[in-house]
Amino acid sequence: MASSSSSDNQSKAVKSSSSTYTVLTRSKSKSLSAYKSDSWWNKLPDEALILVYSYLEDSDRASMSSVCKHWNIIFRTPTLWRERHFMFVGMRATEHTKKACEFITHVGPHLRRMVLECGHPVLHTARPIAEAVATFLGHTIKIPNMRVTYFKVVYLDCYHSWRFFDLSRGKLIDALTKFLRKQRNLRKLDLSGAHMTSAEGMRCLASAAQSPARKTISYLHIKDFFELRYPAFQDNRFRDNLARFTSLRQLYLNYLYVDEHVLQVLRSHSRTSLQYLRIVVDSSEPCNHSISAYSWRDFSDGCPHAKVVFHFLGKLSIEDYRRVFVRSVPIHEVDILSWDRYPSDRDPTSEDMSAVLAHIISTYSAQLVNFRLAFDHLSDEPIDSALVMLLDRCTKLKDVCINTAIRIDTVEKICATLKKKRPRVLEHLELKVRDLTPEEVSKLRGIAILSSEELGLRSVDVQPDD
């Protein structure tokens, strides 16, 4: 089934209704006898009516627009139709494409944020879904004055969901490439999780890189864009396409897509614009190459405003961390999510989180601004002392979030360490402690109350992780 939903910043998701299209094309509105000129409803400012509309589903919006002419006019306010989530799922995807196309025909010029969901196809639904998406995107590029600034594709996952449906997947990719090639106003493009083959991914990326939007796209999210374990940094086509984006401010991608040559591309073509480079190191992928400190220093000199954020997913070895954590990286944030259940082909005994934290301290103690650690399993070497040392030695930390099993006295040491540090840079502390006994939970709550009063941070959250 295909449906669409709209939301503003304060609104909830709403479902599409055929009555929406009827009201949008209707020239006259029906007035209710209960509506009087001296009613307080008549005194509601337009901003309040727009806010009410933003919380309603499409069918309720259509009913509200029938009250009077003025409410019908407010119903057409462009801000109510800025965002829409289009879903194409199941056997009825083609049937419901008509409604989605009607919506685009009537309010397409108002639309700014578009999210496209292709569902999870099976044998009998792959073709209808692909045809529905192709029809919809083909219709969309024909609408004059369309100014989509944000485009995201969710749950595409070509490798797992579409791997057995070559013809339908080809139709889907063709439609997507044609749509991207026609874009002129895109600011944010999110193709994460697509898991395309190298050929499909390069076609899709080339379409965006060769479109007029190559000069306007400032946010490019391509984490897991290619099939698993594909070393995109070794593909000249990837570097050539990346070089065409000249206004990138944020780039989000896998570590397997980055090497010294990719950094050189960013240095040459996004030197004044790039602000954040977000790199994901995934335990389900190899991490065998290292980027030299010289290359990072060259990148930092060429992109003076760029900040690097590392996201680590799964149980990685200490050697993986050392390959990634080299000196001269303009580091800003480190996020470590080390869950036992996350897929990993590493030796589970090779992680040594205590040594990882010590390496972070020795390498980035004067640079690190944000630090997040979620660690759900026991380590051979306790990380308590390393955590205390990290909070003590990293002098520029502003935001710290920790979710792991540590001793209660370690929590007290952390609070005491932060209390002594003056002047204080840290603004936010979130500390969730795992695997506590009832007595320890009670003691932790007492520490939380005292720390909130004594530390003087903008935000302090110390609690057990239930």
Tell how far CA 143 is from the center of its chain: 28
271: its two tokens:
């030197």
3-state secondary structure of 403: strand
| DSSP-assigned beta bridge partners for residue 336 | 312, 373
Residue type at 328 in one-letter notation: S
Residue from 359, 461, 459 nearest 411 by CA? 461
pLDDT value at 216 more than 90: yes
74-84 pLDDT, tens digit per residue, is 888 888 899 99
In contact, 351 and 317? CB cutoff 8 Å: yes
Read off the pLDDT of residues 347-398 as tens digits, 9 standing for 90 and up. Answer: 777 788 999 999 999 999 999 999 999 988 766 678 999 999 999 999 899 9
Distances (CA, A) of 181 to 126, 169, 211, 269: 24, 18, 5, 20
Residue 71 scores a pLDDT above 50: yes
Contact criterion met (CB below 8 Å) for 176 and 145: no
pLDDT at residue 38, rounded to an integer: 52
Residues facing residue 432 across a β-bridge:
403, 463
Q: Is 221 helix (H, G, I), strand (E, B) or coil?
A: strand
In whole angstroms, what separates CA 31 from the centre of its chain? 44
Write out pLDDT tens, residues 28-68.
Answer: 444 444 444 456 777 788 888 889 888 888 888 888 888 88
Partner residues linked to 2 by β-bridges: 88
Residue 1's Cβ-side half-sphere holds a number of Cα atoms within 13 Å equal to: 4
- The 10s digit of each residue's pLDDT in 131-154 is 999 999 999 999 998 999 999 999
pLDDT attached to residue 458: 67
- Do 14 and 100 contact (CB within 8 A), yes or no? no
Would you state the pLDDT for residue 29? 43
Note the Cα 37 to chain centre separation in Å: 48
Tokens of 369: 């601004």
Dihedral through CA 244, CA 246, CA 249, CA 253, nearest 10? 10
The single residue listed with the structure tokens 């479902």 is 15
**pLDDT higher than threshold 80 for residue 163:** yes
Cβ atoms within 10 Å, residue 195: 21
Note the pLDDT of residue 464. Answer: 79
137 in Cβ contact with 179 (< 8 Å):
yes
- Please answer whether residues 386 and 412 qualify as being in contact, where contact means their C-beta atoms are separated by less than 8 angstroms: no
| Per-residue CA distances from 215 to 151, 176, 248, 273 (Å) | 16, 19, 9, 11
Taking all residues of the chain, what is their mean pLDDT, rounded to a whole number? 86
Determine how many CB atoms are found less than 10 A away from the CB of residue 285: 21
